[in-house]
Amino acid sequence: MSSYNNENFNYHQRKQTHDHEVQGSVIIAEREEDPHNHRFATVSGQVIRAVRDHFHLVKFRTDFYEDHFHEFCGKTSGAIPVGGNRHVHFLESVTTVNDCHQHNFRVATLIENPIGEEC
């Protein structure tokens, strides 16, 4: 699995922005042989600016099932407003292959700064 780009994650040299909690389950794989899924939970990286928007890098490892797990490293969609001057991000992709299979998943991040004052 590729590692995060150090330029985007050097927290000591950048002003902190915000991140998002990300949790979910992957879609069931091996429906005929050994149907199963996995869960994951992580926190995204800080803001990566894009033209009039931003996104976040996300990296996770799933829980174990019968001696295997899966990993993912990629980026979210741009911000999706949800009211109250807050937003979420969408992420749809596929995990690494392990135990001769991979899993699709789709998830929305949790809102940023959930108990803080409105931005």
Residues with Cβ < 8 Å from 102, sequence gap 6 or more?
Answer: 29, 70, 94, 95, 96
Residue 105 pLDDT level (bands cut at 50, 70, 90):
very high
Question: Which residue, among 42, 47, 45, has the nearest Cα to 57 in the 3D structure?
Answer: 45
> What confidence tens digit (pLDDT) does each residue in 33-84 have?
999 999 999 999 999 999 999 999 999 999 999 999 999 999 999 999 998 8
Residues with Cβ < 8 Å from 75, sequence gap 6 or more?
Answer: 48, 55, 56, 57, 58, 91
Please classify residue 2 by burial: count the beta carbons closer than 10 Å to its beta carbon, then call 0-12 exposed, 13-18 middle and 19+ buried: exposed
Q: What is the tally of helices (H) and strands (E) in the chain?
A: 0, 10
Q: How many CA atoms lie within 13 A of 50 on its CB side?
A: 11
Residue 118 pLDDT level (bands cut at 50, 70, 90):
low
Residue 4's pLDDT is 45
Residue 13's pLDDT is 53
Residue 17's pLDDT is 87
